[in-house]
């Protein structure tokens, strides 16, 4: 345990020893161990987007064991997935990497303007599988958001009582937001603040654009001259909005993109004080050798071995 990890854990001083131990377990695992940075492999896309869209580009991904192996070989801090995927691959990789059970999920078979995810597993499942944390998605902006907030509150209470950390996917979405507004800087910063206020230990948000969605927010950004012109500026503001950087904030990799774009985004996250990336499709939709190299390049950007 080095000083940087002790500093981060000090931000969670009201959490019980189990939660802090599991945060330390993730922060001290993989190639970024001890740096305070994180790269997590999330594979909930089979449920969220469908199997062909998710795994046909690399058919090895249909097998949950591939994702365990990829997370381990590339040196990730943790691997996150829904219940079925963790159960199907765990026996081959017990104890080799911290895992995060995604306890709610959403499918695309019904077109919802105001989405809400179903709770598909729980704290007892996470404990049975030896997980370090649970993960939960909220959709700030959805008409169903209050139900999700209340579900999350109950799960957080149970998870933390059991010593599990909580990772919140905070993805603005709903009929009140424009499509571009889902990643507007004011909306993403607001979503990060909501996750922090709900008790998230680790907050996952999308990378924000320079657009400001809300008219009242625009007045504040202009009056106080909040810097948002560069991606690093916007990352810095989102981190600031998460209790002045006293909560771990990681950023989604999003849809498949060119390598240089993803690497430049990682540099902006690093330069803006972000804690890392949680990258799914951009990694697991590649053959294993290429995926490992890709993830290790991102890890290298965060640990300073690659500029």
Confidence of residue 1 (pLDDT cuts 50, 70, 90): confident
Annotated catalytic sites, by residue?
Answer: 204
Confidence of residue 307 (pLDDT cuts 50, 70, 90): confident
* CATH number of the domain to which 121 belongs: 3.20.20.70
With respect to residue 239, please indicate whether it lies within any of the assigned structural domains: yes
Tell me the two tokens of residue 33.
């161990």
Statement: residue 84 has pLDDT above 80: yes
**What are the percentages of helix, strand and coil residues in the chain, rounded to 5?**
50, 15, 40
**Which residues on adjacent β-strands are paired with residue 99?**
79
Global pTM value = 0.97
Write out pLDDT tens, residues 216-228: 999 999 999 999 9
For residue 11, give Cα distances in angstroms to 27, 202, 233, 242, 247.
14, 12, 23, 12, 7
With respect to residue 174, please indicate whether it lies within any of the assigned structural domains: yes
With respect to residue 15, please indicate whether it lies within any of the assigned structural domains: no
With respect to residue 17, please indicate whether it lies within any of the assigned structural domains: no
Q: Which residue has the tokens 């625009």?
A: 218
Statement: residue 273 has pLDDT above 80: yes
Torsion of CA 178, 180, 186, 188, to 10 degrees: 100
Query: Domain range for residue 55?
Result: 37-300
Question: Domain tally for the chain?
Answer: 1
**Which residues on adjacent β-strands are paired with residue 278?**
40, 252
Write out pLDDT tens, residues 27-63: 999 999 999 999 999 999 999 999 999 999 999 999 9
Q: What pLDDT does 240 receive? A: 98
Statement: residue 111 has pLDDT above 90: no
Torsion of CA 96, 26, 297, 67, to 10 degrees: 40
Q: What pLDDT does 53 receive? A: 96
- Mean of all residue pLDDT scores within the chain: 97
Q: What is the mean pLDDT of residues 226-244?
A: 98
Q: Which residue has the tokens 């990060």?
A: 192
Statement: residue 88 has pLDDT above 90: yes
* Spatial contact of 38 and 32, defined as CB atoms under 8 Å apart: yes
Q: What pLDDT does 270 receive? A: 98
With respect to residue 105, please indicate whether it lies within any of the assigned structural domains: yes
Write out pLDDT tens, residues 277-292: 999 999 999 999 999 9
With respect to residue 1, please indicate whether it lies within any of the assigned structural domains: no
With respect to residue 21, please indicate whether it lies within any of the assigned structural domains: no
With respect to residue 27, please indicate whether it lies within any of the assigned structural domains: no
């Amino acid at each position: 345990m080095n000083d940087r990890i002790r500093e981060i854990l000090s931000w969670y001083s009201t959490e019980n020893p189990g939660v802090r131990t599991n945060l330390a377990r993730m922060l001290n695992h993989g190639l970024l161990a001890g740096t305070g940075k994180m790269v997590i492999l999330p594979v909930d896309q089979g449920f969220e987007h469908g199997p062909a869209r998710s795994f046909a580009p690399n058919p090895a991904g249909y097998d949950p064991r591939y994702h365990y192996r990829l997370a381990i070989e590339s040196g990730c801090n943790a691997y996150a997935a829904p219940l079925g995927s963790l159960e199907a691959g765990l026996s081959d990789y017990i104890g080799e990497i911290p895992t995060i059970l995604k306890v709610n999920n959403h499918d695309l078979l019904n077109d919802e303007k105001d989405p809400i995810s179903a709770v598909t597993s729980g704290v007892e499942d996470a404990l049975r599988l030896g997980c370090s944390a649970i993960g939960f998605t909220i959709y700030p902006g959805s008409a169903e958001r209050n139900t999700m907030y209340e579900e999350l509150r109950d799960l957080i209470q149970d998870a933390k009582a059991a010593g599990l950390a909580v990772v919140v996917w905070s993805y603005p979405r709903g009929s009140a937001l424009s499509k571009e507004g889902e990643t507007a800087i004011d909306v993403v910063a607001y979503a990060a603040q909501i996750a922090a206020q709900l008790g998230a230990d680790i907050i996952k948000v999308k990378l924000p654009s320079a657009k400001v969605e809300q008219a009242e927010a625009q007045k504040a950004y202009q009056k106080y001259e909040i810097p948002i012109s560069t991606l690093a500026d916007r990352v810095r503001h989102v981190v600031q909005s998460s209790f002045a950087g006293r909560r771990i904030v990681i950023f989604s990799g999003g849809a498949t993109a060119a390598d240089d774009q993803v690497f430049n985004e990682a540099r902006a996250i690093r330069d803006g004080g972000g804690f890392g990336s949680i990258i799914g499709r951009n990694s697991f939709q590649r053959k294993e050798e290429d995926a490992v190299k890709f993830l290790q390049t991102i890890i290298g950007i965060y640990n300073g071995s690659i500029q």
